[in-house]
Amino acid sequence: TYTTDSKSKEENKKTIESLYKLSVDVKKIRRLKEWVLLRDVAYVKEIAGILQEMGADETTVANILERCPEAVLHTPAEVNSQRALWQLVCQNEKQLIKLIEQFPESFFTTKYHENQKANILFFQELGLKNNIITRFLTSAPNIFHNPVKKNKSVIETLQKNYLSLGGSDANMKIWILKLLSQNPFILLHTSTTIQENLEFLQKNNFTDSEVLQLLSKLKGFIFQLTPTTMEKSMFFSKNIFKCSDEELKELVLKCPALLYYSVPVLEERFEGLLKEGISVAQIRETPMVLELTTQIVQYRIKKLSALGYDVKSGNLESLNGTKKDFEANYGKIQSKKERPIFNPVAPLHIED
């Protein structure tokens, strides 16, 4: 928000004294954002006072100002406006101060105040819960910088496409809210990008219901791609698997990562698997394994090998899934191995 130009080349002694009184590590600010200390006007006491009013203790105030020293360059009026705005979606000031401590940069970006306000109200009207909106404010603040008109246009494009792809009116709201909560960054794209990517899939013989399926599976990340990158990734997979267009389509539906990851990423993951002695045929059988990084695959193979389980000879299902899925699978294999084999019809050898 601020330029590194400063009106004077000397540090503002009043700012530094005020920060010291609040037990703020001035050396840290000097090292990371010294330009703040060079400004002629700063509102250290006032901003600290507002934070204390909200329930922040001395340590919390110091922590916030160390992480985001530019907070003191905002006027108390700007910060109070931002406070009132965030209170629209926070349960109470205790939750608000906790969010400010975790994400001070997001809170102290007051430049887009009017857009932020209009977007918060728009998201509430749309039916997004306040806890989701607060997550957006902290983890995806850029979407609030857009004029509300732009965000509305993207949502309308998504709604229109959802219906034209065979989605029902009854499910549309749930679908949009789920998509947004999974990936709010969709709103940083233009309506044109969304349209082009969907048309690319249709041109590649994905049926309407399959396109919808991909949209849901990819959690909207498909809009971060371009027709060119998707084409390159599909061409690479087709060559590796030596398959027809129809077979490739089935593989993509099974594992959207084949569409999502760039060629260098797919190449690296294929090579990593082949180095472990896994065949292309095995990968084709379980393509979801390409969703894992090479390091994760190596770690999982090592763990399974220690139990005597050879992934080269079996299927790759045991490597798949989230960390939780893998641990559950690993636990089953481990308990199977530890369980003694008991044959109920074998004769018992009892010594006389």
9: helix, strand or coil: coil
Tokens representing 272 are 């990593």
Distance (Å, rounded) from C-alpha 32 to C-alpha 36?
10
Distance (Å, rounded) from C-alpha 208 to C-alpha 222?
15
6: left (phi over 0), alpha (psi -120 to 50) or beta: beta
**Of the candidates 156, 95, 91, which has an alpha carbon nearest to the alpha carbon of residue 122?**
156
**Of the candidates 263, 308, 315, 272, which has an alpha carbon nearest to the alpha carbon of residue 292?**
272
Tokens representing 271 are 């090579």
Ordered alpha helix ranges (H), the chain: 13-21, 26-37, 44-53, 58-67, 76-86, 93-102, 104-107, 113-126, 130-139, 148-164, 169-182, 191-203, 208-217, 227-241, 245-254, 257-260, 263-275, 280-285, 294-306, 323-338
255: helix, strand or coil: coil
Distance (Å, rounded) from C-alpha 158 to C-alpha 164?
10
For CA atoms 271, 277, 281, 284, give the dihedral sign: negative
Distance (Å, rounded) from C-alpha 45 to C-alpha 18?
7
Distance (Å, rounded) from C-alpha 53 to C-alpha 47?
10
Check: CB of residue 234 under 8 Å from CB of residue 204: yes
Distance (Å, rounded) from C-alpha 103 to C-alpha 201?
38
**pLDDT value for 328:** 86
The structure's pTM equals: 0.77
**pLDDT value for 6:** 44
- Phi and psi for 143 in degrees, rounded to 5? -65, -20
Distance (Å, rounded) from C-alpha 349 to C-alpha 352?
10
Check: CB of residue 289 under 8 Å from CB of residue 273: yes
pLDDT tens digits in sequence order for the chain, 352 residues long: 344 444 447 888 999 999 888 888 889 989 988 999 889 999 999 999 999 999 999 999 999 999 999 999 999 999 999 999 999 999 899 999 999 999 999 999 888 999 999 999 999 999 999 999 999 999 899 999 999 999 999 999 999 999 999 988 899 999 999 989 988 998 998 888 888 999 999 999 899 999 988 888 888 788 888 999 999 999 999 999 999 999 999 999 999 989 989 999 999 999 999 998 888 999 999 999 999 999 999 998 888 888 888 887 777 888 888 888 888 888 888 887 766 555 555 554 544 3
Check: CB of residue 267 under 8 Å from CB of residue 239: no
**pLDDT value for 5:** 47
